[in-house]
Chain A
Amino acid sequence: MSAAEPILSVRGLSRRFGAIAAVREVSFDLWPGEVMGVVGESGSGKTTLLHLVSGSLRPDAGTVLFRDRQGAMQDIQAMSEPARRMLARTDWGIVHQNPRDGLRMNVSAGANVGERLMAVGARHYGNIRGAAEDWLARVEMDLGRIDDLPRTFSGGMQQRLQIARTLVTHPRLVFMDEPTGGLDVSVQARLLDLIRNLVAVLGLSAIIVTHDLAVTRLLAHRLMVMQRGQVVETGLTDQVLDDPQHPYTQLLVSSVLAA
C-alpha cells in the first residue's frame, strides 16, 4: 500500500431525515496517516456524516470504500454484518463525544480496554491484562486504578480510557466525534497533546469532527467545512483558517474568541 492510494474514499454521500437533508453529496478521500478535521456549526451534518462513513447509519445515496489490510477497496455498505463488526473492532476505532457512549460503565477500566481484544478472540487473561496496563500507561493513567469502575473517573480520565480502549487493537482509521467536548481547558490541552502524539507515533488516519477550530488547528492536516449538510470549503488546515474563501468559513473563523 502506498501513500498515493487513499485509505478511505467517499463519493456522493447523501442522507435525509424526512424533509431535512442532513448530508448532501459529500465526497472526499482520506490518505494513510492523514488527519482530517470536519468543522461546522451545530446541525450542519458533521456527526451524521461520521455515522454514515463509519457504517452505523445507511446513506440514501453514495458509496464509502475502505482499503483493508490486504490493499483491496471494500464497499462498507456491501459488506456482511459480521465482516463490518469485525472491521469496526479491528481496523476502526470510534471515540465518542460522551465517554458514556463508548465505555461500559459497569465494568472496570481494565475490562473496558480488554473488551475489544476479547471480542476478537483473545483468551489469555495475563496477556489481556498486560495489554490493558500498557495502554493505560500510554494514555497517562494511573495503573492503580485499573480495577476501578469508569464512573468513578473524571471526565478527562474517562475520555483517555475511551481512547485506550479504542486503540488497543491497533486500528488504522479512527473516527473522533468532539473528543474534547465538555472538558475544561487545561484537561483539553493535555488530551489534545496526547491524541496528537498517539496519532503521530502510530501513523493513524483519523477523521475528527468538532466545532472547535483550535482543536483542528492542533490536530488536523486538512479541513472540511460543512454548512447545512454540504461541504462549502476544503483545504489544508492553515490555509483554510488563515485565508478562508467561503463567506461561512470567514464568519466561523472571525467568530472565534481570542484568549
Chain B
Amino acid sequence: MDNLWLGLISGVLFGFVIQRGGATDADEMVKAHLMADGRVPKFMVAAVALSALGLFGLQSVGVGRVMVLPVSIVATGLGAVIFGIGWGISGYCPGTCWAAAGEGRMDAIFALLGGLVGTLLFAQLHETLIPLLYLPTSMGPVTLTDWFGEPGGVLALFVVFSVAVWLIGLFWGSPAEE
C-alpha cells in the first residue's frame, strides 16, 4: 500500500515538473528535434548528469535500489529507431503522453491509446521477437563502471553529459533570448 502512495506522489511530482519544463507540449518537443530550441534537451541531459552524481552519493551510503537493464545491440538499437520515428512525428514519448493527456491535450490522448495498441502488439510477439532479436546480441547489464572503474564511470558520464549540454547550447537555437 505504501508503494502505491509513493508511486502516486512520485507521478504527480514528475508530471508537474515535466509540464512546467514544457516536455508535454509537442510544439516544444518538435522545436527541440528541429534544433530550433535547446531548452528541453538541455534539461533532460543535465538532469541525467546530476542524477548520476546524486545516485552515486545515495548508493555510497546504502540508499536506493538499482536495476541495470541489459544492452542488446540489435533489439535496443532497432527498438530505439522505431521509437525515434514515433517520437519525431508525434512529439510525445510514453511518459509525456500521460502527463499531456492529463493536461487535456486531445492529440496526446490518441498517442496514449496508440501506445496501448503498440504494447498489445509487442506483448503478442514477445515470444517470437525476444529470442530472435534481443537475446542473440545481448551483452548483459554493462555499465560505465565496468569500463572505467568506481568513481571513473560516474565522472566520465558527468563530464560527457556536461559537454553535451554545452554543445546543445552551441548548436541549438534559443528563441527565449531573442
Q: Do A and B bind each other?
A: no
Show the binding face of B for A, using Cβ within 8 Å: none
